[in-house]
Amino acid sequence: MNNNKRHELLSCEENMGTSGASIAKENDASCDSIDKPAGDSSESPAGTDSVADEGSIQNSFEGFGFSDALLKTIADKGYKEPSPIQKAAFPELMLGRDLVGQAQTGTGKTAAFALPLIERVLPNEKLPQVLVLTPTRELAVQVAEAFRAYAAGHPHLKVLAVYGGADFRSQISSLKRGVDVIVGTPGRVMDHIRQKTLNCTGLHCLVLDEADEMLRMGFIDDVEWVLEQLPTERQLVLFSATMPSEIRRLSKRYLNDPAEITIKSRSQEASLIRQRFIIIQHSHKLNALKRVLEAIIDDGVIIFVRTKAITLIVAEALEAVGHDVGILNGDVPQTQRERTVERLRSGKINILVATDVAARGLDVERITLVINYDVPFDREAYVHRIGRTGRAGRSGEAILFVSPRERHFLNTLERAIKQPIEQMEIPNNESINKSRLSKLQKKLLAAAKTGREHEEETELLDALIKEVGKELSLDQDKLALAALNLAIGSAPLLATGDETWLKQPTQRGRRNDRREDRLGTRRRNERDSASPENHMDRFRVEVGHRDRVKPGNLVGAIANETGLQGRMIGRIQIFDRYSFVDLPKGMPENVFNDLKKLRVLNRELQIQKLK
């Protein structure tokens, strides 16, 4: 008999950070049904050892066997009670069991594995003990930061993030000095293992974070390779937002009698993230975006677009109307990306324009709005995108722009996420003006409450205002109005722009859209058959449609694992058994050698330059 322990949790009432929240009971009509755990083929959760039972629920972090130092760190972070996934994972991981968790970001899954693993790290060991594999460098940096923060009371514990594109030598010297927890992308971790700069013999725990993303990005073979290098006595933890068959196979093959936890975050998203769509012609998208931002921007906003080029177009258009905007795409160097995320986090900028890959796993609590400027590639990408808001129990909004021709995607999406997405009108002048006035009111209220930092400045301003009042014989109200006018400046307070295009798409607009689409297809076809641009060489790689390779797999693998920047990768053409990839001329020998070794979707690229 399989004695797997399964935890199937509803997160509908999950409310991290608030006390008194409880996990919903199974028969609560307001909640979604329970998801089946990974790899489960039975229809009902009968026999489940569920923790979704009020009596057995721990509503504090005590009782899991955590040290006082860790409990203090948790309290300092302001966490009041463990989230459902944490309640289920802590006891299992503290016991050293393997675990499969189906959960999205935003459910507290990082702490779910980081806290117990920190406690299980032995002090004064020279070799690394915990390895976390993540699909992207952003997530690697984020998870490493989370480990460091959670290990504040464990000063001996050393954490290192290793990922492609970052300096190899400094990683090697950190590894030599001794590291306890390594968080990295598969390719760079493989490189360190192969070069013997990472010794696996002391690893007693491996975490695969966002395993489905690693699969999507073509890293699953690399992950298996790493798994093969581990000592046989080890604890394996696998987290994935979805459970495609490949991930189920991986988990069956490598995990030993794992505890299974399924967190249904769809219901959390449904209740906390308001999802809407706007039908919009391509030609009006930028104007619609500006209107949406004017009408509802409040805190942080992420705008998702499909390509790097569009990140620039959108950012420039928004900057031109006075917004401070950051960009996250594959071309932006790592250090600058980190700076941009920090600026967003601290409120120095409110708007981030990003591509999917660059913004994966991004965790910034003040994001209250996600705009899908371009429709995402699939349902998973949509769920990941909107998961950037509604973090840690906060509410959020998501708006999807769809052209009349993309409506079918909307229908498919609604079916896949099993909930309707509301239609929204493009904000008209009236709603923009309402929003402008309310923002002004908020600013005035804040200014009235805070005053100036230096008392003597306030006195000087007070004297000045009295003088002006006396000179013009003005009362207080008139003076206040004059001051407000001064603050607003000469630009009109009210929007009066053309509103005729806001209504449903016209015949003409539809015709233009169709023309744009046709032109796009023609251009794409022309481009595909053309020879590489002057500064590029064309390479052949031995992976193609039959291996189900997608351009993203190749870009992800090449960019993430060799440190080549995304923008250096040119055209990609996929044929049945092979693909062409355009890469910059004169590529350094060592980079080319890195590429030769790469495996994508279980195939060695065997990259060769075309004559």
Q: Write out the DSSP string of 389-451.
A: SSGGG--EEEEEEE-GGGHHHHHHHHHHHTS--EE-PPP-HHHHHHHHHHHHHHHHHHHHHH-
Query: For the sheet containing 273-279, what is the strand order?
Result: 325-328, 351-354, 300-304, 367-372, 396-402, 273-279, 422-423
- Is position 107 an interface residue for ligand AMP (rule: CB under 6 A)? yes
CB of residue 89 to ligand AMP, shortest distance in Å: 11
CB of residue 112 to ligand AMP, shortest distance in Å: 7
What's the CA gap between 301 and 565, in Å, rounded? 26
| Listed ranges 51-59, 65-73, 78-86, 421-429: which one lies at the site for ligand AMP (CB under 6 A) | 78-86
How far the first Cα of the chain sits from its last, in Å, is 60
CB of residue 186 to ligand AMP, shortest distance in Å: 20
- Is position 140 an interface residue for ligand AMP (rule: CB under 6 A)? no
HSE-CB of 63 using CA atoms within 13 angstroms: 11
Q: Among residues 285 and 391, whose Cβ is nearest to ligand AMP?
A: 391
What's the CA gap between 343 and 318, in Å, rounded? 17
What's the CA gap between 516 and 177, in Å, rounded? 57
Q: Among residues 107 and 171, whose Cβ is nearest to ligand AMP?
A: 107
Q: Among residues 363 and 561, whose Cβ is nearest to ligand AMP?
A: 363
Q: Among residues 82 and 326, whose Cβ is nearest to ligand AMP?
A: 82
Q: Among residues 52 and 426, whose Cβ is nearest to ligand AMP?
A: 52
Amino acid making up residue 343: R
Q: Among residues 70 and 557, whose Cβ is nearest to ligand AMP?
A: 70
Q: Among residues 73 and 171, whose Cβ is nearest to ligand AMP?
A: 73
Q: Among residues 272 and 495, whose Cβ is nearest to ligand AMP?
A: 272
CB of residue 76 to ligand AMP, shortest distance in Å: 12
CB of residue 108 to ligand AMP, shortest distance in Å: 3
Q: Among residues 64 and 79, whose Cβ is nearest to ligand AMP?
A: 79
- Is position 79 an interface residue for ligand AMP (rule: CB under 6 A)? yes
Residue numbers 208-227 binding ligand AMP by CB under 6 A: none
Q: Which residues contact 175 (CB under 8 A, 6 or more apart)?
A: 128, 160, 182, 192, 197, 198
Candidates 10, 16, 117, 206; binder of ligand AMP (CB under 6 A) is: 16
| Mode of pairing for the β-strands spanning 396-402 and 273-279 | parallel
Q: Among residues 110 and 372, whose Cβ is nearest to ligand AMP?
A: 110
Residue 237 sits at the vertex; the CA angle it makes with 130 and 240, to the nearest 5 degrees, is 125
CB of residue 392 to ligand AMP, shortest distance in Å: 4
Q: What are phi and psi of 595, to 5 degrees?
A: -65, -40
Beta strands in 70-202 (DSSP E): 99-102, 130-133, 159-162, 181-184
Secondary structure (3-state) at 64: coil
- Is position 106 an interface residue for ligand AMP (rule: CB under 6 A)? yes
Number of chain residues interacting with ligand AMP (CB under 6 A): 17
* Cross-strand pairs, 367: 300
Provide the token pair at 3: 């004695």
Q: Among residues 110 and 560, whose Cβ is nearest to ligand AMP?
A: 110
Candidates 108, 116, 330, 563; binder of ligand AMP (CB under 6 A) is: 108
What's the CA gap between 382 and 504, in Å, rounded? 24
- Is position 82 an interface residue for ligand AMP (rule: CB under 6 A)? yes
- Is position 389 an interface residue for ligand AMP (rule: CB under 6 A)? no
Beta strands in 53-102 (DSSP E): 99-102
Candidates 392, 424, 444, 536; binder of ligand AMP (CB under 6 A) is: 392
Secondary structure (3-state) at 369: strand
Q: Write out the DSSP string of 229-288.
A: HS-SS-EEEEEESS--HHHHHHHHHH-SS-EEEEEEHHHHHHHHEEEEEEE--GGGHHHH
- Is position 83 an interface residue for ligand AMP (rule: CB under 6 A)? yes
Q: Among residues 83 and 579, whose Cβ is nearest to ligand AMP?
A: 83
| Listed ranges 26-34, 99-107, 276-284, 482-490: which one lies at the site for ligand AMP (CB under 6 A) | 99-107
CA 336 to chain centre: 17
Candidates 110, 185, 368, 403; binder of ligand AMP (CB under 6 A) is: 110
Question: Please, are residues 243 and 84 in contact by the beta-carbon 8 Å criterion?
Answer: no
- Is position 105 an interface residue for ligand AMP (rule: CB under 6 A)? yes
Secondary structure (3-state) at 476: helix
CB of residue 235 to ligand AMP, shortest distance in Å: 19
Q: Among residues 292 and 341, whose Cβ is nearest to ligand AMP?
A: 341
Candidates 391, 394, 599, 603; binder of ligand AMP (CB under 6 A) is: 391
CB of residue 83 to ligand AMP, shortest distance in Å: 5
| Listed ranges 107-115, 402-410, 437-445, 523-531: which one lies at the site for ligand AMP (CB under 6 A) | 107-115
Secondary structure (3-state) at 481: helix
Element (H, E) at 581: strand 579-584
Binding mask of the shown chain, residues 338 to 367, with x at each position contacting ligand AMP by CB under 6 A:
-------------------------x-x--
Q: At what angle do helices 551-562 and 589-597 cross, to 10 degrees?
A: 130
- Is position 111 an interface residue for ligand AMP (rule: CB under 6 A)? yes
What's the CA gap between 579 and 119, in Å, rounded? 47
| Listed ranges 105-113, 282-290, 536-544, 549-557: which one lies at the site for ligand AMP (CB under 6 A) | 105-113
CB of residue 362 to ligand AMP, shortest distance in Å: 10
| Listed ranges 81-89, 246-254, 304-312, 316-324: which one lies at the site for ligand AMP (CB under 6 A) | 81-89
Question: Which positions lie near ligand AMP, rule CB under 6 A?
Answer: 16-17, 79, 82-83, 86, 105-111, 363, 365, 391-392
